[in-house]
């Protein structure tokens, strides 16, 4: 990305609302400012996943390690239940008060939730209040995340030139890859430098404290952003609920949008987040070895997503999304057969590289498509609701679901069937999704 100062000017009209944005901000800082909150959100969620077994042992005492892990993943999933509420409340806030104001608010909320988890006293120290503290932190994180993606992606889409919106929007997913890469690297470093006893005593808290320190960087980056839309200045739009308009006039888009992200959400939960835990529990690998799966997935996502977004600007969103999720549906079952037949690190990493590449390839254009299909007055609300509901159901509880499937069926291949079913739902939804590449935003 060039470091030059782009003078991008655009005018968006909806009824009596007209917003002109002429930001004097470099492309690099623009993209970083819009995606830093999403990266922080994903970092916090991912770091929890990498230390799920440790958190389960500290906060959910049980004689059965599987029960501990299930309770830990259930707490992980609880945060996703708040995403739809956060999406509605913060999305409506972004449509009324402005995208930038909403993204600043979500940063503070995410820091609060992350700090509560990182500083929570354990069950042994304070009893049942310990896990309740963690759950409350997860709820705040989930509420914040529900509004962050919609507000920041909408802001990015409204800043971007029409011919490059796929590339600009792809950095939302690329930022998730960067967050995974950083989180997995920190988790690997902690597990390498510290003994298991030290990790359990205090080491697991370090990544959460680091997450809090990212917030000032995000606030500095977002200072240079200018507002792209706010309905508050218009009396007619101020009196109308953006949620009511979204549900009343655009409910078909909401349903199709939810189905559109199911495949990527499930693949992300299994291939990117769960694979390290799977390597430890099912393949018998050491944590320091298994975490290379997360590091690899993050690096692949960071590299592939911008290329996929740029390609979708040229040939369209639909072909890129369709090809990617069809490939995942066809490859994930043999991939799980392969890593179970040959449970080695090279095999694991090869599988992760292939599946994570297709996951990033489909996810990058899918994210920006969610913002492109809604009109400006409900764009943040509509996208936040779609993303929050889809991710809450099929991503937040994805790791819980596949852990339960393995325990119930006794089959280590069970996660593949979950991803296949979700990818098929996305492919069906794609048939009802309009092509939005290179179009003017409504």
Calculate the average pLDDT of the chain: 81
Confidence band, pLDDT 50/70/90 cuts, at residue 282:
confident
List pLDDT tens digits, range 146-170: 777 777 788 788 888 889 999 999 9
Q: Concatenated DSSP letters for 397-415?
A: THHHHHHHHHHHH--TTHH
Domain that holds residue 36: 26-228+250-430
CA-to-CA distance for 241 and 378, rounded, in angstroms? Answer: 9
Report how far residue 33's alpha carbon sits from residue 76's, in angstroms, rounded to the nearest whole number: 27
At 353, list the tokens.
């590289």
Answer whether residue 396 is part of any domain. Answer: yes
Residue 96 has pLDDT above 90, yes or no: no
The tens digit of pLDDT for each residue in 39-84 reads: 877 787 778 777 877 888 888 776 667 776 677 767 766 777 787 7
Give just the sign of the alpha carbon dihedral 157, 87, 129, 112.
Answer: positive
Residue 67 within any structural domain of the chain: yes
State the total domains in the chain.
1
Cα(96)–Cα(85) distance, integer angstroms: 17
| Residues 328-353: tens digit of each pLDDT | 999 999 999 999 999 999 999 999 99
Whether 15 shows a pLDDT value over 60: the answer reads no
Residue 111 lies in a domain: yes
Question: What percent of the chain clears pLDDT 70, i.e. is strictly above it?
Answer: 87
Q: Is residue 347 part of a domain?
A: yes
Cβ contacts of 442 within 8 Å, gap of 6 or more = 14, 374, 375, 376
Q: Evaluate whether residue 122 is within a structural domain.
A: yes
pTM for the model? 0.76
Helix axes 27-50, 65-81, angle to 10 degrees: 150
Tell whether 17 is covered by a domain: no
Report yes or no: 398 and 422 within 8 Å, Cβ to Cβ.
Answer: no
Residue 302: what pLDDT? Answer: 93
Mean pLDDT, residues 242-254 taken together = 75
Cα 81-418-52 angle, rounded to 5 deg: 55
Rg from Cα positions in the chain = 21
In a domain, 147, yes or no: yes
Residue 427: per-residue pLDDT: 95
Q: Is residue 239 predicted with pLDDT exceeding 70?
A: no
Contact indicator for 184, 352 with CB cutoff of 8 Å: no
Tokens 């690998």 belong to which residue? 285
Q: Reduced to 3 states, what is the DSSP secondary structure of residue 19?
A: strand
> Which of 220, 214, 81, 89 is CA-nearest to residue 138?
81
DSSP H or E segment with residue 194:
none
- Answer yes or no: is 384 within a domain: yes
| Closest alpha carbon to 363 in 412, 321, 312, 416 | 321
CATH number for the domain that contains residue 311: 1.20.1250.20
How far apart are the C-alpha atoms of 241 and 167, rounded to whole Å?
31
pLDDT at residue 240 tops 80: no
Q: What is the pLDDT of residue 63?
A: 66
Evaluate if residue 21 carries a pLDDT over 60: no
């Amino acid at each position: 990305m060039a470091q030059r100062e782009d003078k991008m000017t655009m005018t968006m009209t909806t009824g009596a609302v007209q917003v002109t944005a002429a930001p004097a901000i470099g492309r690099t800082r623009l993209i970083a400012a819009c995606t830093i909150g999403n990266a922080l959100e994903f970092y916090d969620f991912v770091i929890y996943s990498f230390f799920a077994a440790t958190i389960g042992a500290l906060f959910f005492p049980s004689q059965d390690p599987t029960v501990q892990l299930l309770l830990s993943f259930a707490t992980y999933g609880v945060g996703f239940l708040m995403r739809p509420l956060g999406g509605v409340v913060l999305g409506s806030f972004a449509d009324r008060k402005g995208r930038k104001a909403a993204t600043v608010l979500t940063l503070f909320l995410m820091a609060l939730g992350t700090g509560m988890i990182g500083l929570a006293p354990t069950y042994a120290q304070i009893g049942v209040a310990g896990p309740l503290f963690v759950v409350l932190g997860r709820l705040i994180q989930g509420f914040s995340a529900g509004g962050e993606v919609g507000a920041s992606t909408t802001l990015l889409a409204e800043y971007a030139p029409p011919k490059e919106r796929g590339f600009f929007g792809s950095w939302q997913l690329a930022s998730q890859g960067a967050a995974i890469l950083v989180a997995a690297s920190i988790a690997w470093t902690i597990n390498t430098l510290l003994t298991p006893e030290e990790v359990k005593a205090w080491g697991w808290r370090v990544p959460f404290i680091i997450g809090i320190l990212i917030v000032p960087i995000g606030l500095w980056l977002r200072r240079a952003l200018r507002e792209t839309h706010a309905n508050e200045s218009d009396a007619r739009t101020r009196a109308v609920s953006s949620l009511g308009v979204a549900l009343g006039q655009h409910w078909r888009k909401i349903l199709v949008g939810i189905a559109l992200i199911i495949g990527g959400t499930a693949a992300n939960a299994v291939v990117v987040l769960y694979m390290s835990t799977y390597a430890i529990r099912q393949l018998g690998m050491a944590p320091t070895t298994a975490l290379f799966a997360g590091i690899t997935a993050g690096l692949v996502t960071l590299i592939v997503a911008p290329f996929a977004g740029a390609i979708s600007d040229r040939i369209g969103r639909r072909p890129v999304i369709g090809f990617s999720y069809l490939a995942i549906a066809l490859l994930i079952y043999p991939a799980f057969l392969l890593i179970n037949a040959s449970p080695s690190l090279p095999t694991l990493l090869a599988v992760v590289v292939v599946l994570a590449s297709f996951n990033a390839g489909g996810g990058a254009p899918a994210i920006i498509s969610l913002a492109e299909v809604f009109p400006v007055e409900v764009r943040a609300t509509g996208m936040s609701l779609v993303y929050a509901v889809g991710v809450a159901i099929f991503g937040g509880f994805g790791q819980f679901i596949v852990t339960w499937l393995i325990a119930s069926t006794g089959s280590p291949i069970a996660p593949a069937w979950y991803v296949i079913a979700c990818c098929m739902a996305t492919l069906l939804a794609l048939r009802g999704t309009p092509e939005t590449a290179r179009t003017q935003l409504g």
